[in-house]
Amino acid sequence: MPRSSQVFQFNSHDLPRRAGEMKEYAFDITVPDRVGIDVIAVLPGEDIHVDLRLESVTEGVLVSAQIGAIADGECIRCLDPLEFDINRSIQELYRYEPEKAHTKAQRKRAREEEDDLDEDEDLMMDGDFINLEIPIRDAVILALPINPLCDLECQGLCSGCGQKWAQLPEDHAHDLIDPRWAGLGPLAGQ
């Protein structure tokens, strides 16, 4: 399996670096590791479909993408496996690296913007390469339910026996000894 970030690299070499130029692409990224959260994620070996549009702008490349994938997880109440459809759009500006900007105007602009560059928010081109990992991971995580349910009405499991309520008779019950008193049981007869 390739390193995770490598599969998210997109080579934009055939996009002319003139503001206003635009290209569209469609492809699948097979993810080498989980993309998602603990309870639900796109699993390793699964595909994330990407409809990508690249537009040359003065300061870099504007990336717009529609991503689609299926995440696998389990219902937090009954633990049944479930699938979740992800459909989400992304839009990010990838700036030219200041020293690799192609025209004088781009270099000037890049230098000016370097000063108030916010490392956390700005995405940079790496030569012709656009690394889509961060926006795709973020978009998938934002799309996923934090508490996935097989059904909004899911009744979950009986705490006494762990069976699904949906499969138990309505009058199902346990004669439970209150756990606070259970420890005193052996003493009760003395």
Q: Which two tokens stand for residue 177?
A: 């000894």
150 binds Zn ion (CB under 5 A): yes
Binding status of residue 77 toward Zn ion by CB under 5 A:
yes
Name which of 84 and 129 has its Cβ closer to Zn ion.
Answer: 84
Q: Using CB under 5 A, which of 78, 101, 136, 140 touches Zn ion?
A: 78
Specify the stretch interacting with Zn ion by CB under 5 A; choose among 3-11, 18-26, 29-37, 78-86.
78-86
Residue 5: name the closest of 123, 98, 94, 136 by CA.
136
Choose, by CB under 5 A, the member of 160, 167, 177, 184 that binds Zn ion.
160
Provide the 3-class DSSP secondary structure of residue 166.
helix
Q: How many residues bind Zn ion (CB under 5 A)?
A: 8
**Count of helices and strands (H, E) across the chain:** 4, 9
Count how many residues are written for the chain: 190
Maximum Cα interatomic distance, the chain, rounded to a whole number of Å: 94
Residues 14-73 that bind Zn ion (CB under 5 A): none
Please name the amino acid found at residue 74.
Answer: E
**Residues at the contact surface with Zn ion, assessed by CB under 5 A:** 75, 77-78, 150, 154, 158, 160-161
